[in-house]
Amino acid sequence: MKNDGVILLRYSMEEIFILLIGYFNEWSGIFMKFNVSCVQMKPERYDVKRNIKTMCGFIDKVMEENANTNLIVFPELITSGYECHEEFHKIAEVACESDSIKIIGQAAKKYKTNIIFGFPERDAENKEVLYNSAAFVNEKGELGGTYRKVHLFDTEKKYFTPGRDYPVFDTSFGKIGVMICWDTAFPEVARIYALKDVDLLVVSTNWEKPYSDDWDLVTSARAFDNCVYLAAANRIGNDDKLSFFGHSRIVSPLGKSIAELNEEIEGVISAELDLQVPLKLREEYYTFFKDRRPDTYDLLVK
């Protein structure tokens, strides 16, 4: 009887262990999922206060529709507009002193979500130096850092200094790498982030007409190149000479559209993303990082 009792106890413990594993897998699967939203909007050129007010309205809307949203992405230079020319010197803000970041930070803290948005940044030490930047505000409402656009486009070079770094922003759901507009056309940027093990590529952009086909191509390509999710927010409306078409997108690790807003209207796209998906894909077939040959890529950095 004693032995039978031991056997019964042993099997009972095994059953409990199996149940615990099942619960762990179920809960870990839940924790591997996160919700992201991209806001497509029309900024009013030069009017930072009005744009921030509009952004806060969209943040309220997103969080009212899904209180579990982990990240909200806004377009490039959304606080100022794109073709501000010399006015950028009046509008630009030092990140650590920025009223825009403080207000968006209050919303992030209120809803316990992360927010990324584009703004003209002034260098803290040299006030004449400006950057085309994206601010990362974490769920505590704190400035987690800024990404400064590395690949400046056309007239941007007259007003902005290019960045030199590719920072990774840590969140409760994973790591984020940010690109701004023209950066997306350069495969090297997304690959650097992938080599830094980011879980999500974020694109904050002002991609203009008539290049919507190029936009759809490069966003899908950067996701597929690295078998990683990509969330991209573009603006709409007209500035001075340029107009913008929207096409905000959330893209799968295989470059397929999960959600998109192809109309030239303000709005929000959202999706729940499962971080187990790219991990599984990279193991089963899309073994880019196992098969790559960096010893043959010397020419790429010349």
Residues carrying an active site annotation: 76, 149, 181
Q: The sheet that has 200-204: what strands, in order across it?
A: 168-170, 175-180, 200-204, 229-233, 248-251, 257-261
Sign of CA dihedral 38, 39, 42, 47: negative
- For the chain, give percent helix, strand, coil, nearest 5: 40, 25, 35
CA–CA gap between residue 109 and residue 291 (Å, rounded): 42
Q: Is the distance from CB of 257 to CB of 249 less than 8 angstroms?
A: yes
CA–CA gap between residue 136 and residue 175 (Å, rounded): 12
CA dihedral 266, 229, 138, 215 (to 10 degrees): -40
Looking at residue 290, its amino acid is: K
Closest CA to 232 of 119, 122, 118, 106: 118
Closest CA to 70 of 137, 143, 167: 137
Q: Is the distance from CB of 114 to CB of 138 less than 8 angstroms?
A: yes
**Across-strand partners of 267?**
40
Question: Nearest 5°: phi and psi at 81?
Answer: 90, 165
Q: Is the distance from CB of 148 to CB of 133 less than 8 angstroms?
A: yes
At residue 134, the 3 state secondary structure works out as strand
CA–CA gap between residue 68 and residue 271 (Å, rounded): 11
Radius of gyration of the chain (CA): 22
